[in-house]
Homo-oligomer: A and B are copies of this chain.
Amino acid sequence: MKILRTPGSLRAVLKEHRHKQIGFVPTMGYFHDGHLSLMKRAVQDNDITVVSIFVNPLQFGPNEDLDKYPRDEDRDTELAENQDIDYLFIPTVESMYPHDMHVRLMMNNRTDVLCGASRPGHFDGVITVLAKLFHIVQPDKVYMGMKDAQQFAVVDAFCQDLNFPLELVGVPTVREEDGLAKSSRNVFLSEAERNEAPAINNSLKLGQTLAKSGEKDTSVITACVKEAIEKETSGTIDYVELYRYPELTVTKDICGTVILAVAVRFSNARLIDNVIFEV
C-alpha cells in the first residue's frame, strides 16, 4: 500500500491504472467496522482501491470543533493495509485548498431535514470536497455507508445532476450482534447506555413492521418509534422522521420507498440510525 499526500502525487501513481476499474472510499479517517466494510466491498469489486482520509474543514460549521475531530493515522494506515488497499490518500489541507475557492457549490434539496437541519452548509462542504476527490481519483465506483443515508441521498443527487461518470454504491450499515449500528461514538456510551442502545434499532424495526402491516399515517409511526425509544432508553430524542427516499420529501401517506431515521442523544454521544424500506 502506498500513501500519497498531494493530489498531484496520487494522480501520478494512478496514471498507469487508468484502464483498470478503480474503486474509491472517501473517509475522514478514525476507522471503525463500517469503514472496513466499505473497503472490503471496494477491494472485492475493483482492480484498484483508493481510500482517502481527509478531515474536510469545509464541512464543519463555525460551532463544530474541527480540531477535536478524532484522528489516528498510524492505526488507520495499519487497518487499511490489512484490507489490501492499494493507495491511501491523506492529502494536506494546503494541497486540497491552496487558496480561497472561486466557486461555491450548494445543495438546494435533501439537506434541510434529518441531521442536515442542524448543520447548515454541511453538505455543501461535503459535495465540494467530493467533487475534488472524484476528479483526482476518477473512480469507477464510489462506496459510501447507508448509516449516513442522507449523505448518500445528497451525493447521489449531486452526481446525477452533474453527470459524474461513476457509480455510487451504498453499503449496508454494519451492526453489533445486538443490532446497534457500529460507530466510533459507541465507546462514549456508559455501560447502562450501551445496554439500552439496541432499542434504537429495535424501535426502527417496530416502525417498519407497522408500516409494512398497513399503517399509512407517518405521524402514527414516528410517534410509536419515539415512545419505544423513550420507554427503553435514557437518551433524548433529537428527531424521529419518516420521508420518501432518496428524495427526503414529506409523505403523509406512506407509499413507495421511505426512510425512517432517528437521532438520539446520550450523555456523551449522539447516535443515529435508519431503516429504508418499501411499502
Contact = CB atoms under 8 A, between A and B. Distances in A.
Contact of A162 (B18, B110, B132): B132
Nearest to A153: B102
| Centre residue among A101, A132, A157 by max chain B CB count within 10 A | A101
- Copies of this chain: 2
A138 interface: yes
A24 to B, nearest CB: 14
Contacts of A131: 162-163
A108 B105 CA distance: 11
| Centre residue among A102, A154, A158, A161 by max chain B CB count within 10 A | A102
A96 to B, nearest CB: 9
A231 interface: no
Contacts of A7: 163
A158 B108 contact: no
B107 A157 contact: no
A80 B101 CA distance: 36
Interface of A: 7, 11, 18-19, 100-110, 127-128, 131-132, 135-136, 138, 154, 157-158, 161-165
Q: Would you list the 10 A-B pairs with minimal beta carbon distance, nearest first?
A: A102-B157, A135-B163, A102-B109, A104-B106, A132-B163, A103-B161, A131-B162, A101-B161, A136-B163, A103-B158
17 contacts: A100-B108, A101-B108, A102-B108, A102-B157, A102-B158, A102-B161, A103-B107, A103-B108, A103-B157, A103-B158, A104-B105, A131-B163, A132-B162, A135-B162, A135-B165, A136-B165, A138-B165
